Chains A and B, each alone.
Chain A
Amino acid sequence: MAYKPPKQGLAGQIFDVLTLLVLTIGALYIPLYLGLAGAAKVPNPIANPTWEALGQNATEQQQWAALGITDPAAANDIITARFDYSFSWVALIVMAVLVIGYFVMVVRLSDKEYREVIEERFGKKR
């Protein structure tokens, strides 16, 4: 016999939408808003910067000027900023477990649901 889902009222529908909204904003936006997430790119400005000391040749100096930056001090942070790619292996393993675990969980639970769908659509497996 076909599964008959319960009828969802307006309040329930609103509650479900709000849950997803809170999840989206809570997990994704608030960490950004609080500055908890971000790229680890850090400027390492040099003292008394000149274009030569910053490694910029004559053509590159022309390019900087065309972009509105004629003072090497103004380009100091941009030129010297670098990402820090040192990482912890533990953090990498945790991330891998999180990604793989997520997909394993979703596929397994999906398969459970999928079997109900196929059974209702085509009948029980013989």
Chain B
Amino acid sequence: MANVTSTAAEPERLQLLRVLGPAHIWALGVGIVLVGEYMGWNFSVGKGGMIAGLVACWVAGLLYTCVAMIDSEVTSTVAAAGGQYAQAKHIVGPLMAFNVGLFLVMAYTMLEAANAITVGFLLDTVAGMQGHSGLNQQPFIILAIMFLAWLNYRGVLATLTFNLVITAIAFLAIITLFISVQFGASNVPLDFSAVTTDPLPYGWVGIVAALHFGLWYYLGIEGTCQAAEEVRSPARSLPYGTMAGIMTLLIAATMTWYVCSGLVPWEYLGQAGTPLFDAARVTGSTGLMILLFVGTTFATLASANGCINDASRAWFSMGRDRYLPSWFGAVHPVYRTPYRAIVFLVPIALIFALGAPLDQVVTFSILSGLLGYTFMTFNMVMFRNKWPLDTIKRGYVHPFHPLPTIVLLILCSTAYFAVFLGYGTQLSAMMCFYIVASLWFHFRRYQFVRRGDQFTMPWPKPVGY
């Protein structure tokens, strides 16, 4: 990693600490994403019905398997903080890197905001069940974001160890609910009659439309490579942790769809704020309700925690490279964390958490993620073309190239159309945002960037240059 100054006055050279293992990588990936089973995914049922929700779950699983395969190869070779941002810098160029950095920051900051909204909504629901309806959610939203930002400020090892524990509990809560319902713990039976009576309320277009929120089951798994500079053995830990993460999520997503679709009417499920907790409410079991309340709380906190970690690393990396003011590229002299980036992103998360509806915030996060997955397709092709397999040592080589890339591109194109169906305005707003930001970078900001410093890997000159 390139060195950075800790303060403007004292050019002390500090590095991020290499303290993380494969379990932390699993926890970072699954911890960010597992909340997708606790909220958000169910809007796919609202966009297409129960069957469409399940198809979206599996098709999105295929999309993310491609993402994990591609990302594991590139990340195991470009092991630098910022993940895909560092990849774009070395493979495509500075402007692409700036955009990828923004994708990451926006996707994770919006996801963080969505998590905070869910915490507030959950507490409001529980207060309502106790006869105290009309709870003011805002203090809890602010408290959740501020507490996690403080935790991130204090150090990465404590942050991700905290994530490891609460992610494991949240995952076990889903498995416990699934098994309990199978063994008759619910007062109300599972009912899948809508699968036959109203299988596709929107017809086949509903299946395509559902893919939009189907991405939410897994969105953020690619965040594992954000911690590349803080992993003890990146070439081993990153592919292992990422692949284990996607397998965990495929299992959890299918179980979640099954339990929720069986216990909650699809029309309610399609707009619910906390679907797994609602499924537990329907069982009538106090124990399951408490467990899924804890699971939802932990999943949202783990996700928000991981999001702060990842968004701040991307922002920090851009500051360090002068894509943003270099003030952001500082490491804390004691805690060795990108503390200025962490603090700066807090108010942005708060603005959206306090003032925007959940499905809109989720859509912004999904769109930024989707743009990042589209980038991965041509990034992979360029990576193999500029450095063929025999020219540099890769930690992992993904099989069947270019099949995963082609599949990913087709699924990304379908997902854009899915977002367009119902949320076209957000898509247009986001594209305008990135186009204007790109022009601003190329014509204004790029003058402050040191050209040669943008290529730090010990690789030979790329083919064709």
Contacts and interface: CB of A to CB of B under 8 A. Distances in A.
A80 B267 CA distance: 8
B94 A113 contact: yes
A112 B189 CA distance: 62
Contacts of A31: 425-426, 429
B100 to A, nearest CB: 10
Interface in B319-357: 322, 324-327, 344, 348, 351-352, 355-357
A114 B47 contact: no
Contacts of A40: 422
Taking chain A's interface residues, is the majority helix, strand, or loop, or is none over half, making it mixed?
helix
B423 interface: yes
A41 B421 contact: no
Contact of B93 (A12, A39, A79, A111): A111
Interface in B274-298: 278, 281-284
Contact of B455 (A17, A68, A83, A118): A118
Nearest to B192: A59
Contacts, number: 223
A42 to B, nearest CB: 11
Interface hub of A57, A60, A114 (most chain B Cβ within 10 A): A114
A47 interface: no
Contact of A122 (B424, B426, B435, B461): B461
Interface string A100-111: 001101110111
Contacts of B93: 107, 109-114, 117
Interface in B411-465: 416-417, 420-438, 440, 442, 444-452, 454-455, 461-462, 465
A39 B247 CA distance: 32
Taking chain B's interface residues, is the majority helix, strand, or loop, or is none over half, making it mixed?
helix
B397 interface: no
A46 interface: no
Interface size class of A (residues with CB under 8 A): 35 or more
Nearest to B352: A29
B99 interface: yes
A2 B452 contact: yes
Contacts of B94: 110, 113-114, 117
A30 to B, nearest CB: 9
Contacts of A121: 451-452, 454-455
Contact of B421 (A17, A27, A85, A110): A85
A99 to B, nearest CB: 6
A25 interface: yes
A24 B348 contact: yes
A112 B93 CA distance: 8
B158 interface: no
A2 B432 CA distance: 34
- List 6 tightest A-B contacts by C-beta distance, closest first: A110-B93, A114-B93, A13-B325, A27-B433, A120-B452, A59-B191
26 contacts: A2-B451, A3-B450, A5-B450, A8-B325, A14-B325, A16-B324, A27-B429, A28-B352, A28-B364, A33-B355, A33-B356, A38-B425, A60-B265, A75-B267, A78-B267, A78-B271, A81-B267, A83-B421, A92-B420, A95-B420, A96-B416, A102-B434, A106-B99, A109-B442, A110-B97, A120-B452
Given A25-B351, A95-B420, A114-B94, 11 more contacts: A27-B436, A29-B356, A55-B198, A63-B268, A64-B265, A66-B282, A83-B47, A91-B420, A95-B431, A110-B92, A110-B95
